[in-house]
Structure 1
Amino acid sequence: MYLASSSPRRRELLTQLGLPFALVLPQVEECRRADEPPEDYVERLARDKAWAGAAMASQPLPVLAGDTIVVLEGEVLEKPRHREHGLAMLRRLSGRNHRVMTAMALVWNDRCLSLRVETEVTFRVLSEADIDAYWATGEPADKAGGYGIQGLGGRFVSRINGSYSAVVGLPLVETEALLQQAGVLPD
């Protein structure tokens, strides 16, 4: 099997399913289309990455890919473009609920199966000192929504309703079921 992802978090989580895999690193433009709902956007990106990964694969094996977005009041919070953008996102998340959507797609035998998992996350109120200190760690710079729940950003999360592993980047239960549905894993 192949994993079409540069995310070390996805690699770590996929290892928990006990499957050997190799990496392919497709380059897919992450650009939301006009009027594209966040739910459709994240699933389309996962599918695009899986198809692009399949085109790169040197062997005819299943290709798994994923994408994660943070959604606050219908707005997709992508990875921070720069420091001020990252700080602004963290200020907006402070003391509020937001949704984290992770989609996984599997290309195998010329077909693509996909799924989307949504989790509600609540942040405690953050001080300016919290936000500045967190940005200074470098952790939020490459994370959707400007934080990583599995790292230092986890201390800002006061509540989670849904899949923790989906917020990290690969919903374990649902991905295992997807792999079973495709016949990659036994039932």
Structure 2
Amino acid sequence: MPSLLLASASPARLATLRAAGLDPAVVVSDVDEPAVVERYGVTDGEDVCLVLARAKAEDVAGREEVPEDALVLGCDSVLEVEGPDGVKQVHGKPADAAQARERWFAMRGRSGVLHTGHWLVDAREDGSGATLGGVASVTVHFADLTDAEVDAYVATGEPLAVAGAFTLDGLGGAFVRGVEGDPHAVVGVSLPLLRDLVREAGVAWPELWAPGAGARGEAARTGGQ
């Protein structure tokens, strides 16, 4: 049976995949992200996240310790917003609290597009050898935060750990008025897009479900009632 190997340290991506019935192993890539972007010369948000996702997946897929039944998934997210001069700006994780605060002052009450690149490498010994990817883009509408709310949120440290300086599934959820598109992509991995990529590699989505996935889902539904 095929298995999924996640080339990402993101706990949100891992949690999303586990909630969907998968139980991926995790191997974090050693990709120098600025160097990759510079090498490819990309500036558009969709291109940036896709080349980084590919670099991460291929870095991990080339390692000796990768299981012979593995499908390797690399992901990367960036937020694209229009700057005060009308030029689109692409943001990954903020460098520090000051930058996170500056970004939130620019984002509040406005909208941006969160691009999440996905790249799948079929590293199975008897697999298709496919290497393919895609981008899920979601429009995010931000609430009009007060200065005090921005300061309090940045002080939690959460914005410093995520692309765009916000989360949908954490403390930042209250500061997002709505999304247009797949909400999973905002968290970090689009399940519908991943299913499409897996199918193109010749694997049916249910083949990736972990043993007992149905029981876990039932327990989660019962707990929410």
TM-score interval, normalised by the smaller of the two chains: over 0.9
1:157 aligns with 2:165: no
* Contact 1:62–1:184 (8 Å) recurs in 2: no
Structure 1 equivalent of residue 91 of structure 2: 77
Matches within 5 A, 1:2-21: 2-21=5-24
TM-score by length of 2: 0.78
Q: What SS is found at the alignment partner of 2:60?
A: helix
Structure 2 equivalent of residue 167 of structure 1: 186
Distance 1:15 1:179 in 2: 16
Higher gyration radius (CA)? 2
* Contact 1:117–1:171 (8 Å) recurs in 2: yes
* Contact 1:24–1:53 (8 Å) recurs in 2: yes
What one-letter code is carried by the residue in structure 1 that aligns with 2:24? F
1:102 aligns with 2:105: no
Distance 2:97 2:43 in 1: 27
Q: Displacement, 1:14?
A: 1.4
Q: CA separation of 1:128/1:26 partners in 2, compared to 1, >3 Å: closer, same or farther?
A: same
Q: What SS is found at the alignment partner of 2:33?
A: coil
Q: Displacement, 1:117?
A: 0.5
Range 176-185 or range 6-15, more displaced: 176-185
Gaps of 5+ in 2: 83-87, 123-127, 207-225
* Contact 2:79–2:92 (8 Å) recurs in 1: yes
Runs of 4+ in 1 over 6 A off after TM superposition: none
TM-score by length of 1: 0.93
Q: Percent identity?
A: 34
Q: Displacement, 1:35?
A: 5.0
Distance 1:47 1:37 in 2: 16
Deviations 1:1-49 (A, max 9, x none): 2111100111111123323321111111112334532211110001110
Report the count of equivalent residues: 187
